[in-house]
Amino acid sequence: MTVPLSVVSPFARHTVVASIIDATRSAALCELNDALITKVKTCLFDLIGCAFESRDLPWSREAVHVAQLSGVIHGAAIIGRSGQSSFGDAAFANGVMGHGLVREDMHSASISHLGIVVIPTLLALAQYKKVTGRHFIQAAVLGYEVGAQVGRVVMDALLARIHRPTGITGPIGACVAASYLLGLSDAQTASAIGLSANTTAGFNQWAHTGGSEMFFHPGFAARNAVTAALLAEQGAFGSPDAMDGEAGLFASLHKPQAGMKFQMFSGAPEILSVYHKPVPACNFAQTATQAALRVSLAHGIQSHDITAIRIRVPHSAAVYPGCDFSGPFENILQAKMSIQFNVVAALLNAGVTEKNFSSLNDSELKRLLTLTTLEQDPLMTQSYPEKQGGEVFVTLKDGAVRHARLDNVVNASFEEVQTRFKDACIAHLGQRRADALETFIMNIENTQDAGLIGALMESAT
């Protein structure tokens, strides 16, 4: 038996949890406009497309193997696989695969990849309980909002050197989305959030070694979000002040007053500030890499003419674990995190595709890396996180300097995300089934059963 929120604690109405619950009741959440609907569709295309593209990578195979150990008759689909797994395990595997290319969506102010937790959670639970497409979209908007706000009030460059932001923001945001999707009561939602706050985890030591635990962080977060919501639905009680209590999440991060800054929907919905990566690499490598690409395409530079490369980025980019690294590169993840590697690869290949990571030991790449320096730019630092700048100077043998500066990260457009989704789906599902999945997502706001997407994502083998 659940306990009414007002009875749980005399302080309950002053907690962050209470403000979240108030937001879930807001009429504004029901006012879905074209921009929000299109954004959620973009997030779906991005997550599912990335999952299809990364389905055969080592971490994806490992996650799917573990998830399929729980084979069930009635559960949820794993993207690009046949059969079903438990709802939590399906969310786990899909979260890992959505992160597999390091090309997931990004919310800069929270330093978080919210889509790889929120979307897998909702995809799984939409197959647990029948919900409309509009309800699914509303849940996604809410999940992104909560995760983004948690990140805004607690995450900073110093904290992110140790704690993986997505491991903190993801379980809570996704759990709120799940609670809304399932129609939980206020007290159940409060308990679900309290439980999910106890599952926040993930450290950034992987960035120093190239360890693959990074890929599993969103999977753990999505599975924990599903579990917390389902436990609360069954009556489990979680502390309503597990986030901002004296021994809660914020206190554990040495930010005990963070709850005072927490505001839901105080401006444009946070999901609208999420961007979709054009480069399959770390968020902090994006802008400088795009600047390097512009230099390469504009001037047709031959790599053997380069004598120096100078990169300027915000402070947060330079100090994030793994980003200021010139090698040696023992695995792909180290390269995907390195700003220097991504800039040099863009200059060398005149492109920013997955192929850039196929030759970690290329002799010319190694030579260029020895010529590369990384600096912090004060103006970019001041503008971050509202803007995430990047600048590249390339010096040539004749003394000429080629240069490009971008004030903000380049966002992959809806059409670009949709195209790469479609290409990945066709490669694994074939044209007819890829068309059916694309059509379903394009019209999801009109469906009476969002969970039907599960069967469309499955592979025949």
Tens of pLDDT, residue by residue over 282-296, are: 999 999 999 999 999
Please tell me the distance from the alpha carbon of residue 180 to that of residue 21, in angstroms, as a whole number.
9
User: Is the separation of the CB atoms in 204 and 36 below 8 Å?
Assistant: no
Please give the domain boundaries of the chain with CATH numbers for all domains. Answer: 5-276 (1.10.4100.10), 283-406 (3.30.1330.120)
Please state, in angstroms and rounded to a whole number, the distance separating the CA atoms of residues 437 and 427: 13
Q: What is the DSSP string of 155-198?
A: --HHHHTTB-HHHHHHHHHHHHHHHHHHT--HHHHHHHHHHHHT
**How far apart (Å, rounded) are the C-alpha atoms in residues 319 and 120?**
30
pLDDT at 29 over 60: yes
357 to each of 239, 281, 293, 332, 375, how far by Cα in Å? 45, 10, 15, 6, 23
Question: Across residues 215-220, what is the average pLDDT?
Answer: 98
Position of tokens 């150990």? 69
- Identify any residues that bridge with 403 across adjacent strands, giving them in sequence order: 393
Query: Does residue 385 have a cis peptide bond before it, meaning omega lies within 30 degrees of 0?
Result: yes
Provide the pLDDT for residue 460.
67
Its sign, for the CA torsion 129, 135, 136, 142, is: negative
- For residue 77, the SS3 value is strand
Q: Is 456 left (phi over 0), alpha (psi -120 to 50) or beta?
A: alpha
Query: Which residue do the tokens 């635990």 mark?
Result: 213
Quote the pLDDT of residue 461. Answer: 66
Query: Is 28's pLDDT higher than 80?
Result: no
pLDDT for 120-139, tens place per residue? 999 999 999 999 999 999 99
Q: 348: part of which helix (H) or strand (E)?
A: helix 339-349
At residue 324, φ and ψ (nearest 5 deg) are -95, 80
Of all residues in the chain, what percent carry a pLDDT higher than 70?
A: 96
pLDDT at residue 351 above 50?
A: yes
Render pLDDT for 61-102 as a digit per residue (tens, 0 to 9).
999 999 988 777 789 999 999 989 999 999 999 999 999 999
Average pLDDT over residues 311-331: 96
